[in-house]
Amino acid sequence: MLAVLSPGQGSQKPGFLTPWVDLPHADARLKWWSALAGVDLRHLGTEADADEIRDTARTQPLLVAAALLAADHLPMHDVGLVAGHSVGELGAAALAGVLPAEAAITLAGVRGREMAAACALEPTGMSAVLGGDPGEVLAAIEQHGLHPANRNGAGQIVAAGGRDALAKFAADPPAKVRVITLQVAGAFHTPYMAPAETALAAVAGGVTTTDPARILLSNLDGSAVVHGREVLQRLVRQVTAPVRWDLCMRTLKDLNVTGIIELPPAGTLAGLIKRELKGDGAPEIVTLNTPDDLPAARDLIARHGVTPSHEPVPSFRVVVAANAGTFRPADGLDEGQDVRAGQVIGHVVTRQGEVELTAHAGGALTEWLAHHDDPVAPGQPIARIGGHTEGATR
């Protein structure tokens, strides 16, 4: 399986959008999206300096626009999974078909402006905490009245909160830990962003969604989300909730993702994945930073993606576990068999008893993603169910 990933804030670099703006239709799209976002995206991506694109209100719509602009030049119908880090989730949701591109850009503009406004209410910040025992690091963060805003795996946790508390934490860190102050406007993904969450929810309430056309992972818990409305609710909630990129990477491994493309500005997520998913079975990665990288990205999709076909193709839906426990498939139910909406396809055996897993829609049981007696976590993908429809997206 191949995954396409959309990076988040902090990955931007001055001029990173320059190689893309002369491609067909790019300039017109950027003008339209700029009107929706309330910022000049072409200027920000080509001429603005590092300080200007560090502004949260500008950076967030710029990153979503860059991801969508580059993805326009990929055969996304052959991509099986998408995910994004922080604001990158808006880009991923659009690539999964949950949101129109225009809605993703508009929401990114609102999100950026409102989070910037929330940052101005009191002095807060973020610090990267590298190394150490994860349990000890989390305990120390809590002890100082801080929040673990990002858990990025590979020995990296981001602490966020009041600047005075961050300074005290840096002065007395846990053993074998290095603390790096991040140049950000405030404590993202913490309760300090509550006003921004409220403002974003008010706008998101008017957005029409559809269910994902491919697997879409959530930063909230690394699970595959199957209902469009839930995706939107999670996108709003993520403004104040920690980014669990560690759990997203665990799901990439659980799903045996063999190829990964990181959209521009690429490199940050690829670095985390290389440190976390290494050794035998490590995915092949392409960082898509300029149009010169498109041939390599397309080749990766051709080798790891869904095989193109002129026949009717399946529109997949993913069944996920609601509880932790041990998975037991329904007796006699094998890959390739048809299931109906509401049919019990298996159970999760917990200490409190068995919990039924049902199909949300009818179709063919295309693939088991968990097997008999496998331990499963809440939100873990269990099976893919596909219904054959002409012109659908895999």
Cis geometry, peptide bond prior to residue 265 (ω within 30 degrees of 0): yes
Q: Name 161's bridge partners.
A: 125
Pick 313-389's CATH classification: 3.40.1350.10, 2.40.50.140, 2.40.50.100, 3.40.50.150: 2.40.50.100
Q: Name 381's bridge partners.
A: 320
Domain 2-118+191-304 bears CATH identifier 3.40.366.10: yes
Closest CA to 3 of 373, 283, 371: 283
- Average pLDDT in the chain: 90
Closest CA to 115 of 166, 189, 168: 189
The residues that are catalytic are 86, 189
For the chain, residues classed under CATH 2.40.50.100 are 313-389
- Say which CATH topology domain 121-181 has: Alpha-Beta Plaits (3.30.70)
Q: How far apart are CA 124 and CA 116, in angstroms?
A: 12
Q: How far apart are CA 98 and CA 229, in angstroms?
A: 8
Backbone angles phi, psi at 90, to 5 degrees: -65, -40
Q: How far apart are CA 99 and CA 250, in angstroms?
A: 25
For the chain, residues classed under CATH 3.30.70.250 are 121-181
Give the pLDDT mean for 203-231: 91
Q: What is the pTM of this model?
A: 0.79
Please give the share of the chain, as a percent, with pLDDT higher than 70. Answer: 94
Sheet holding 147-153, edge to edge: 147-153, 156-162, 124-131, 177-181
Per-residue pLDDT for 314 more than 70?
A: no
Lowest-confidence range among 221-230, 240-249, 265-274? Answer: 221-230
- Confidence band for 246, pLDDT divided at 50, 70 and 90: very high
pLDDT (0 to 100) of residue 286 = 98
Contact of 37 with 65, CB cutoff 8 Å = yes
Q: What share of the chain is helix, strand, coil (3-state, %, to 5)?
A: 40, 25, 40
Give the pLDDT mean for 313-342: 81
CA dihedral angle for residue 84, residue 86, residue 87, residue 90, rounded to 10 degrees: 40
For the chain, residues classed under CATH 3.40.366.10 are 2-118+191-304
